Amino acid sequence: MGPEAITYHTDEAGYQWARFSPEQWLRELKVPPTLIPASWESWDWRSTESLPGIARALRWLRDSWTRETGYWSVLLTAPPGRGKSHLAVAKLRQFLSWYPARECAYVRWSQLLRDIKETWDGYGSEATLLEAVESSRFLVLDDLGSEAAEADPDSPQWIVQRVFSMLEVRHAHGLPVVITTNLDRRRITARYGARLVSRLREGEIIDLSPLPDHRVGGFHV
């Protein structure tokens, strides 16, 4: 199957703009290829049939959560394979229908830390890098906590400072963010401190741990 065609439209001022499909925008935002198909329609809703609390939370996330609801953040927490990244990208796809794609961002936490370290060697500006993450109208922060090995519950202080500062800026401006993590609340507190957990509790925390591992049987998330 060949690449998707790019169509164009002309605005009232006569400027021509590319009109991308949602899939093309997700690629532009550097969403991993395996997550490009993620949507609410492709989510396995059967997995929540015996879990009414989770089903209600996910319907709220799909149907009701925007920046106007008063919840600035949604934290999706569970062990690997429960569909956290799928759900986050499904919400990103939804935001792309509301806001221009250039005002949205998808960030893989481990990649962001690598990019920050590269600025220390003179490759770009850390301030510019973080400004883009802090000011986007909608952000997916995927796989928070992936920087440290399981044997080491602590993160270096510079990482703790970066994540708290970044989320504080978004909180102050009411900019919505979906965060996914394999860490539970106790491990988030141990790694990043009680102050960050306190801030996250001002948003919505959805624990997907009771869900089955969707990666079993070929459903990749």
In the prediction, which pLDDT does 79 show? 95
pLDDT at residue 67 greater than cutoff 70: no
The CATH number assigned to the domain holding 87 equals 3.40.50.300
- Block residue for tokens 């956290």: 84
206 and 59 in contact (C-beta within 8 Å)? no
For the chain, the farthest-separated pair of C-alpha atoms sits apart, in whole angstroms, at 58
Percent of the chain with pLDDT over 70: 83
pLDDT at residue 52 greater than cutoff 60: yes
pLDDT at residue 61 greater than cutoff 90: yes
Q: pLDDT digits over 174-191, tens only?
A: 899 999 999 999 999 999
pLDDT at residue 19 greater than cutoff 80: no
Confidence of residue 221 (pLDDT cuts 50, 70, 90): very low
Residue 78 lies in a domain: yes
Residue 155 lies in a domain: yes
Residue 13 lies in a domain: no
In the prediction, which pLDDT does 11 show? 52
Confidence of residue 8 (pLDDT cuts 50, 70, 90): low
In the prediction, which pLDDT does 1 show? 38
Return d(Cα 72, Cα 173) in angstroms, integer: 9
Cα dihedral 162, 166, 169, 174 sign: negative
Residue 218 lies in a domain: no
Residue 38 lies in a domain: yes
Residue 219 lies in a domain: no
Residue 15 lies in a domain: no
Q: pLDDT digits over 76-125, tens only?
A: 999 999 999 999 999 999 999 888 778 899 999 999 999 999 999 988 89
Mean pLDDT, to the nearest integer, of 154-177? 89
pLDDT at residue 166 greater than cutoff 50: yes
| Global pTM value | 0.86
In the prediction, which pLDDT does 2 show? 41
Helices (H), 14-107: 22-28, 52-63, 84-96
Residue 6 lies in a domain: no
Buried b (16+ CB within 10 A) or exposed e, 31-63: beeebeebebeebeeebbeeeeebeebbeebee
Mean pLDDT, to the nearest integer, of 48-57? 96
Domain count, the chain: 1
Residue 133: domain span: 21-207
